[in-house]
Amino acid sequence: MAFCPDCGTRNADNARFCTTCGRQLADVAEARAAMDPPVGTHRTDRDGRMIADDGLPVGQDLDGEPGGERLLWKGRPSKLFSPIRSLTNRYKLTNERLVIERGFVGRRTEEIDLYRVNDVAVKQNPGERVYGMGDILIETTDTTAPDWSLLNVRDPDRVKDLIREAARAERQRRRVLLRDEV
């Protein structure tokens, strides 16, 4: 919604003139465009969804809202390296948060907002490198869970890059700065 600076009337985003006083709203649209910084290097469609290199929206829509939460990746530990954890742990990465579910009968769910992610790293031992597996280490500013590990994940470098880019985009969307960015 665009508000008229003269009379304060709420107008549609694409309105060229105020519906109450008739003031031209071109300068209001320019100011709104200047205040909304570009988010990351990714492209978006008219609904605000991230567009991949192939021109399709990234991820599955979770909430049905334009520009809302989308599932970017989901996975679980490898059955080869950790058969019990592969049954009990599940990971989901959306464009807003990382969800870690643990448990078989009882379930514990931890959510980490991506704007809180400070650093992401990959750790691989020689056996994991052979099979394309690895652990993803996540450092956050979350007080309940400052450090997390996604264990025995397939293609860990790709997942690490997804987390890093989604965290950067979420910080820009929320206009959050880390201390080292100031």
The pTM score is 0.65
Q: Which parts of 76-171 are beta strand (E)?
A: 89-94, 97-102, 108-113, 117-123, 133-140, 147-154
The domain containing residue 22 runs over which residues?
2-35
The pLDDT of residue 29 is above 70: no
Residues 30 and 100 in one domain: no
Residues 16 and 93 in one domain: no
The pLDDT of residue 113 is above 60: yes
The whole-number pLDDT of residue 52 equals 57
In a domain, 50, yes or no: no
Question: Domain count of the chain?
Answer: 2
The whole-number pLDDT of residue 39 equals 47
The per-type count for the chain, helices as H runs and strands as E runs, is 4, 12
Instruction: Read off the pLDDT band of 154 (50, 70, 90).
Output: very high
Q: How far separated are the first and last CA of the chain, in Å rounded? A: 31
Q: What is the pLDDT averaged over residues 117-126?
A: 94
Instruction: Put residue 132 in one of left, alpha, beta given phi > 0 → left and psi -120 to 50 → alpha.
Output: left
The pLDDT of residue 11 is above 90: no
Residues 72 and 147 in one domain: yes
The pLDDT of residue 54 is above 50: no
Residues 159 and 76 in one domain: yes
State the Rg of the chain over Cα.
21
The whole-number pLDDT of residue 34 equals 47
